[in-house]
Amino acid sequence: MRNYKLLNFKVNGNEMGKLVAIEGLNQIPFEIKRIFYIYGVKGDAVRGRHSNRNSEFVMINVKGSADVRLHDGSKEHVVNLSKPNEGLYIPKLMWKDMYNFSDDCVMLVLSSEVYDENEYIRDFDEFLKEVSKNE
Ligand code: TYD
C-alpha cells in the first residue's frame, strides 16, 4: 500500500471544551487550497469512487464515523475515521470509497488543489492504467 498516513492532531482542552488547530505545511504536509465537508450521508451510500491525478487530501471526521477504503492500484486498505483529532492523509493517485457513514457524520476534507473535474478519474480500470504508467 502506497504512503497514506494517519495524523494525530494535538487537542487543546480545558473545562470550556476542546480545540484542534491545523496549519498547512505544519500539521499536514501541503498548503491548503480548498476545504469541503460532507454530511447528511445516508448509511448505505458509497461516496468517492474516484481517484485524483493531482490533489492530495486530509480527511477528518470532526463528528461521527465513516470508513474509507483506499486502493493504490495493487492493494486496498480500509481505515475507520471516528476521532475529531485524527486525520487521514491521502496522496494523489489513490482510489477512494467512503461508506458506513453514521447519521451524524461530518467529514471535513482539506485539499492541496482547487477543484478541477479534469483531474478526477472516475473509472476504476482507467485508474489502474494510469497508476501502472506512473510506477
Ligand atoms: P463528488 O466528488 O462526486 O463527491 P464525493 O467524492 O463525496 O462522492 O462531488 C459531488 C458534487 O460536488 C459534484 O457535483 C462536484 C461538486 N464538487 C465541487 O463543486 N467542488 C468540490 O471541491 C468537490 C469535492 C465537489
Render 3-41 in DSSP notation, one character per residue: --EEEEPPEEEETTEEEE---BTTTBSS---EEEEEE--
Active-site choice (50, 53, 69, 83): 50
d(CA 69, CA 76): 7
Pocket of ligand 1 (CB under 6 A): 34, 36, 38, 47-48, 115
pLDDT at 22 over 90: yes
Q: Is 77 a catalytic residue?
A: no
Q: What number is the average pLDDT over the span 65-69?
A: 98
| Whether the Cβ atoms of residue 67 and residue 79 lie closer than 8 Å to each other | yes
Place of cell 467512503: 98
Quote the ligand 1 centre to 36 CA distance (angstroms).
9
| CATH 2.60.120.10 matches 5-133 | yes
Q: Give the position, in ligand 1's atom list, of the atom nearest the Cα of 111.
A: 22
Q: So where are the chain's domains?
A: 5-133
Q: What's the pLDDT at 1?
A: 82
Quote the ligand 1 centre to 63 CA distance (angstroms).
20
pLDDT confidence band for 81 (50 / 70 / 90)? very high
Least Cα distance to 88 among 2, 1, 8 occurs for 8
